[in-house]
Amino acid sequence: MKKNKISKNWVNKQRRDIYVRQSKVDGYRARSAYKLIEIDEKFKIFKGGLSIIDIGAAPGSWSQYAIKASKSGKLISIDLKKMEPIGSSVQIQGDFTAEKTQEEIKKNINGKVDVVMSDMAVDTTGIKNIDSIQTGELCKEAMFFAKDLMKDNGYFISKIFMGGTFNEIVAEGKKFFKEVKVFKPKSSRKDSKESFIICRKIR
């Protein structure tokens, strides 16, 4: 009974959500596209010809926006789940944290990349501090991977939850990058603890 009530509440929330409705109009696979759009509007990241890695890409709305905004650029999308193809992007299905998957990503790169972005998050438990720590570990893994593959003035973008590991992740970012900002898009749900860390210029 309780599960049905939660499901019904979720469906009602989705129906009321303007970003869910807009994503259907604009052809995006998920409302999360608008978070990346807001990040791009604020930090002016995407332009023609960029090489981009999208970690935790499914269902693909960030990849959709990135490939459109980078025009003739190159995009590699990675996720545990299989995704519908997006333009000429390279899609890798696998666990990003596995060495095998990371080696496969590297095989598909020619030189350094312009943008590494991650919307990875663990399945939430509802215990905010645990969710923050686990998602924080994914953010750190993506950051460590990105720093060795990025151009000197490239961008690293990642989901980050307010909580136990927030300050540690920002401090790690400052070790590797000259510019570190934290931004919460308007399209993030009000009750969500998520923000995004935007790092630029490798030290």
- The length of the chain in residues reads 203
Residue type, 149: L
For residue 147, give both structure tokens. 């720093």
The residues annotated with a catalytic role in the active site are 159
Among candidates 5, 4, 40, 36, which has minimal Cα distance to 19?
36
Ranges assigned E (strand) in 104-146 = 113-118
Distant-in-sequence, close-in-space partners of 164: CB < 8 Å, separation ≥ 6: 129, 132, 133, 136
